[in-house]
Amino acid sequence: MPEMPLETAEDVLAAGLPVPLRPLARIAFDYGWSWQPGGEALWRAVDPERFEACGRNPVRLLREAPRRTLEAAASDPALLDAMARLARALDAERAAPAAAAPPARPEAPIAFLCAEYGIHASLPIYAGGLGVLAGDLLKEASDRRVPFVAVGLLYRRGYFHQRLDPSGMQHEYWTTVTPEQLALERARDAAGAPLSVRVPICARSVEVAIWRAQVGRVPLFLLDSDVPGNAAIDRFITAQLYVGDREYRLMQYALLGIGAVRALSALGIRPAVLHLNEGHPALATLELAREPLARGEPLERALEEVRRRVVFTTHTPVAAGNEAYAPAELAAVLGPYLAALGLGSDEALALGRGTDVSAPQPFGMTDLALRTSRSANGVSRRHGEVARAMWAHHWPGRRLEDVPITHVTNGVHLPTWMAPAMRALLERHLGADLLAGAADPARWAGVDDIPDEELWAVRCRLRAELVAFVRARSVSDRLARGEPIAYVERAARTFDPGVLTSGFARRVASYKRLHLLVADPRRALAIIGGPRPMQTIIAGKAHPRDDAAKTMVQAIFALKGEPFAGDRVVFLEDHDLETARALVAGCDVWVNLPRPPLEASGTSGMKAAVNGGLNLSVLDGWWCEGYDGANGWAIASAPAPDTILQDARDAGAFYTLLEREVIPLFHERDAAGIPRGWVRRVKASLRTLGPAFCTARALGDYVRTVYGGGA
Ligand SMILES: *Cc1c(COP(=O)(O)O)cnc(C)c1O
């Protein structure tokens, strides 16, 4: 091992702590703490208020806490004990030998490339499902000890924060984090010098610093162009996730794709497989072709070499997720780079074309990825079908079922998403090692034998915890919006821990059809204000340039003056990983109303399911293979040309299910006050969905059928 310089960020943090607390620095620099039991409790034990005020960021907590707080912590035996246990657990994880996962080996890992990662709320480099899924896969790879590294971008301004005004209009703002405030180390070369690479953007050579975040065993390398020597425009390339300007986004994708390959090489990592997670990093394949092209191989031969090592996952059929650039846009950002590769502009453009007709066509990132990878997959069975139809023109003459796009259905990382109370219950009844074998349906069979009373007690406790969270958050949200005091106070009083609670929280994209919740306002209000009431929590951000989505949020707010609405409907602002965790744990019913077939998978419903929440969803994405008639509720909605009619029909089906099935079942209690039929459904949901929709199953599929399925 090369000698590392003494002054790592972790050393500096440790040096500022009282001696007994120094192991906390080691814990803070490994996001593994966030899914170890007791991890969060440890930071709360230091200072609960400050932990919240620091955005649950342990590095800031330790750096900003006053000396007397740290001294008090250093003399708390229970805290020191918990610290020692957690440090030992994390060290043991890091030291354990790697699992056999051919072709991945420790010296030739899987390299995962993605534009966003949802690891923890304190690392704000994600926007929604794509990033959270990527984060969950890294965590699972760490748990399963699969040799894995990941590369992404360090967005110092991250994704935007959301504020609503009293009319429900969304306003965006950005806060800046510096790498010093995060659990990041500069990656260094063998001599200890900070590593950076250069990426050609337009006619410039942009310096890109490489940072490392440790996600358990898995290093996540983050590329950062905010380097003093760069021009101001270039320093901004990695500032903002999904920045609105197209040219800037293309620069980001160039920096991600080309930069990832160069960074891995600078780090001395020779991946067995590169996994392009969504089309954003697809330009990596051109950089991989550079060496064979320089050797004089013709393009097609060079690409054959590239293809042997690259796999691709497509994540959405929505057009905005499959970006394409006009030839002039591509030339402006990548012209000099492509010329240096020796690629003629027609040759380069042809790689990203939808079909091979010669008329000028935009350069699609998904098209490029499909042409330059050995395998492609969608993210649910249904999405596999949709993707085969959508991209069939890449394989002219083949029958649809022979189009070589498979699927690996998404899953969720159970240690992250399963609430402690549910985890404790299941481990007590199904075995302490349930999560280690979570993908095995046999391990979940015993769910049916858990006494109804115990399962129901945990559900009521999780709902009560959510209600406490919602009260606190909605009071502060309403205060910040400048609402009248009386309206603020209603949030604190009336959300009720005993009332049927439904949730709808995800990015507010038009196809997710948030507006269906209030498509028939009279009927919706009658449901929430009826004799057997229901309360609803809504959360999610609309993309700053998506006015249609913003209007959907306002449609919800339009009802806030109605009787009951202010008491039983809450919009939680600034949805993130933390609000998501609270919501999926406590909601009884998780609602999803996408316009089929646009929901590639969806994952928030899986998170609700593993906490004993029941899904009520349009049959699309993962729910097409998850729903079995007894483990939730489904709305069948065929793709329809008349979207207004389709919306009206689906909203009607949604209300009918609530009125006739969901609400009666929840209120049908026996003498002991237990809703037996409801609990039966919860059990069916846990038993069938737990093993099928966890990342243990999803990662296992990737290792066996995608990474191991190549040449
Ligand atoms: C899981 C998750 C999502 C994805 O939700 P879908 O219902 O799959 O769209 C989005 N945002 C956050 C914060 C999440 O945790």
The residue ranking higher by pLDDT, 6 or 226, is 226
Q: How far is the CA of 345 from the centre of ligand 1 (A)?
A: 39
Phi-psi label, residue 564: left if phi above 0, alpha if psi -120 to 50, beta otherwise: left
- How many beta carbons lie within 10 A of that of residue 522, not counting itself? 8
Residue 5 pLDDT class (50, 70, 90 cuts): low
User: Per the domain annotation, does 415 fall within a domain?
Assistant: no
Q: How far apart are CA 270 and CA 262, in angstroms?
A: 11
The per-residue pLDDT for 710 is 57
Tens digit of pLDDT for each residue in 292-332? 999 999 999 999 999 999 999 999 999 888 999 999 999 99
Q: Is the CB of 594 under 6 A from ligand 1?
A: no
* Over residues 386-414, mean pLDDT: 96
Structure tokens at 508: 């507010």
- Number of structural domains (the chain) is 3
Judge if the beta carbon of residue 603 lies within 6 A of ligand 1: yes
128 CB within 6 A, ligand 1: yes
| Ligand 1 pocket check for 132: Cβ under 6 Å | yes
Does 421 reside within a domain? Answer: no
Rounded to the nearest angstrom, the distance between the alpha carbon of 255 and the centre of ligand 1 is 26
- Centroid of ligand 1 to alpha carbon of 324 (angstroms): 25
Query: How far is the centre of ligand 1, averaged over its atoms, from the C-alpha of 507 (Å)?
Result: 7
| Rounded to 5°, angle at Cα 157 from 154 and 158 | 60
Burial class (CB in 10 A: 0-12, 13-18, 19+), 677: middle
Q: Looking at the CA of residue 579, tell me the nearest atom of ligand 1.
A: 13
- The answer to whether the CB of 372 falls within 8 A of the CB of 310 is yes
104 neighbors 707 (Cβ within 8 angstroms): yes
Q: Which protein residue's CA is at the shortest distance from atom 8 of ligand 1?
A: 602
Specify whether 301 is located in the same domain as 162: yes
In short, whether 591's Cβ falls inside 6 Å of ligand 1 is no
Q: How confident is the model at residue 558 (pLDDT cuts 50, 70, 90)?
A: confident
pLDDT of residue 6: 55
Ligand 1 atom nearest the C-alpha of 540 is 11
CA pair distance 237, 234, nearest whole angstrom:
5
Centre of ligand 1 from the C-alpha of residue 615, in Å: 14
Same domain, 123 and 156: yes
User: DSSP letter string over 73-95?
Assistant: HHT-HHHHHHHHHHHHHHHHHHH
pLDDT at position 279 over 70: yes
Q: How many residues does the chain have?
A: 711
Give the pLDDT mean for 521-548.
Answer: 93
CB 515 within 8 A of CB 555: yes
Q: Is the CB of 135 under 6 A from ligand 1?
A: no
Contact 266, 191 (CB under 8 A): no
Centroid of ligand 1 to alpha carbon of 509 (angstroms): 12
User: Is the beta carbon of 506 within 6 A of some atom in ligand 1?
Assistant: yes
Q: Answer yes or no: is the C-beta of 315 below 6 A from any ligand 1 atom.
A: no
Q: Examine the domain organization and report whether 131 and 76 are in the same domain.
A: no
Ligand 1 nearest-atom number relative to CA 605: 7
Measured in Å, residue 357 CA sits from the centre of ligand 1 at 38
> Which residue has a Cα nearest atom 11 of ligand 1?
128
Domain with 52 in it = 26-95
CATH number of residue 483's parent domain: 3.40.50.2000
Choose one of 65, 95, 125: the last residue of a domain: 95
* DSSP notation for 129-180: HHHHHHHHHHHHHHHTT--EEEEEE--SSBSPEEEE-TT--EEEE-----GG
Neighbours of 230 (CB within 10 A): 19
pLDDT at 1 over 60: no
**Does some domain include residue 589?**
yes
Pocket flag, ligand 1, residue 602 (CB < 6 Å): yes
Does the Cβ of 577 fall within 6 Å of ligand 1?
yes
Query: In this structure, are 508 and 399 located in the same domain?
Result: no
- Say yes or no: 88 and 120 in one domain: no
Asked if residue 32 has its Cβ within 6 Å of ligand 1, the reply is no
Instruction: Work out the burial of residue 641: count CB atoms within 10 Å of its CB; fewer than 13 is exposed, 13-18 middle, 19 or more buried.
Output: exposed
- For the CA atoms of 665, 671, 673, 674, what is the dihedral angle to 10 degrees? -60
pLDDT of res. 711? 45
Distance 129 CA to ligand 1 centre (A): 4
> Has residue 70 been placed in a domain?
yes
| Ligand 1 atom 7, closest CA | 604
**Is the separation of the CB atoms in 44 and 88 below 8 Å?**
no
Does residue 130 have its Cβ closer than 6 Å to ligand 1? no
- Which atom of ligand 1 approaches the CA of 129 most closely? 4
- 336 and 301 share one domain: yes
407 CA distance to ligand 1 centroid (A)? 20
Joined tokens for residue 513: 């059809």
Q: Is the CB of 380 under 6 A from ligand 1?
A: no
Query: In Å, what is the CA distance from 169 to each residue of 481, 550, 554, 559?
Result: 11, 7, 6, 14
**How far apart, in whole angstroms, are the C-alpha atoms of residue 655 and residue 632?**
15
CA of 512 relative to ligand 1 center, distance in Å: 11
Angle at 333 between CA 327 and CA 339, to 5 degrees: 80
Residue at 420 is within a domain: no
Atom of ligand 1 nearest to the CA of 581: 15
Do 77 and 118 lie in a common domain? no
Exposure string of 384-408, with b = 16+ CB inside 10 Å and e = fewer, is bbbbbebbbebeeeeeeeebebbbb
- Whether 346 has a pLDDT exceeding 90, the answer reads no
How confident is the model at residue 535, as a pLDDT? 95
56 & 160 share domain: no
Task: Quote the ligand 1 centre to 315 CA distance (angstroms).
Answer: 13
**The pLDDT of residue 357:** 61
**Interval 236-253: pLDDT, tens:** 999 999 888 999 999 999
Neighbouring C-beta atoms of residue 375, cutoff 10 Å: 19
The residues near 90 (Cβ < 8 Å, ≥ 6 apart) are 26, 27, 30, 32, 33, 36, 216
Residue 418 belongs to a domain: no
Burial of 88 (0-12, 13-18, 19+ CB in 10 A): exposed
Sign of the C-alpha dihedral computed for residues 353, 355, 358 and 359 taken in this order: negative
β pairing state of 148-153 and 218-224: parallel
- The two tokens of residue 496 are 């009720």
Name 206's bridge partners.
199
Cβ–Cβ < 8 Å for 587, 613: yes
Residue 129, ligand 1, Cβ within 6 A: yes
Tokens representing 569?
Answer: 């409907």
Distance of CA 254 to the CA centre of its chain: 22
**Pocket lining: 618 vs ligand 1, CB cutoff 6 Å:** no
Last residue of a domain, one of 95, 118, 147: 95
Q: What mean pLDDT comes out for the span 88-117?
A: 97
- Ligand 1 centroid from CA 581, angstroms: 10
Q: How far is the CA of 607 from the centre of ligand 1 (A)?
A: 9
Q: Please enumerate in sequence order all residues whose Cβ is within 8 A of that of 14, keeping only pairs 6 or more positions apart, or say none.
A: 22, 24, 25, 26
> Mind listing the pLDDT tens digit for each residue in 174-185?
999 999 999 999
Using one digit for the tens of pLDDT, what is the confidence trace for 616-630?
999 999 999 999 999
Closest to 625 measured CA to CA, from 385, 312, 313, 317: 385
Q: Is the whole model's pTM more than 0.85, yes or no?
A: yes
Residue 40 has pLDDT above 70, yes or no: yes
Read off the tokens for 505: 């929280």
pLDDT over 50 (residue 2): no
Residue 560: the pLDDT is 84
Q: Which atom of ligand 1 is nearest to the CA of 592?
A: 7
Angle, CA 300 vertex, CA 294 and CA 303 arms, to 5°:
70
pLDDT at 398: 96
CA 573–ligand 1 middle distance (angstroms): 15
Is residue 399, in this structure, part of any structural domain at all?
yes
Asked whether residue 181 falls in the same domain as residue 41, the answer is: no
Same domain membership, residue 249 and residue 220: yes
Residue to mutate, 603, 615, 620, ligand 1, most ligand atoms under 8 Å from C-beta: 603
**The tokens of 566 are what?**
């202010």
Atom 1 in ligand 1: which residue has the minimum CA distance?
604
Question: How far, in Å, from the CA of 128 to the mean position of ligand 1?
Answer: 5
Counting ligand 1 atoms within 8 A of each CB, the residue from 123, 604, 694 with the most, and so the one to mutate, is 604
- Three-class DSSP category at 431: coil
End position of a domain, from candidates 35, 63, 95: 95
Report residue 493's pLDDT band, with 50, 70 and 90 as the boundaries. confident
Q: Does residue 611 have its Cβ closer than 6 Å to ligand 1?
A: no
Interatomic CA distance for residues 350 and 641, integer angstroms: 32
Tokens found for residue 244: 């609105």
Tokens linked to 279:
């089309």
Percent of the chain with pLDDT over 90: 89
Task: Give the Å distance between the CA of 497 and the centre of ligand 1.
Answer: 24
Residue 686: CB atoms within 10 Å: 24
Residue nearest to atom 4 of ligand 1 (CA): 129
Is residue 360 over pLDDT 80?
Answer: no
Task: Indicate the average pLDDT of the chain.
Answer: 95
490 pLDDT band (50/70/90 cuts)?
Answer: confident
Question: Residue 639: helix, strand or coil by DSSP?
Answer: coil
Question: How many A from CA of 586 to the centre of ligand 1?
Answer: 15
Q: Cα of 125 to ligand 1 centre, how many Å?
A: 14
Q: Report the candidate in 385, 452, 450 with the shortest Cα–Cα distance to residue 620.
A: 385
Same domain? For 373 and 473 the reply is no
Helix, strand counts (H, E) of the chain: 31, 20
- 126 in the same domain as 268: yes
Q: Percentage of the chain surpassing pLDDT 70?
A: 98
Q: Please, are residues 492 and 483 in contact by the beta-carbon 8 Å criterion?
A: no
Distances (CA, A) of 702 to 326, 330, 408, 670, 706: 33, 32, 7, 45, 5
Using a 6 Å cutoff on CB, does residue 576 contact ligand 1? yes
For residue 20, being part of any structural domain is answered with no
Cα–ligand 1 centroid distance for 131 (angstroms): 9
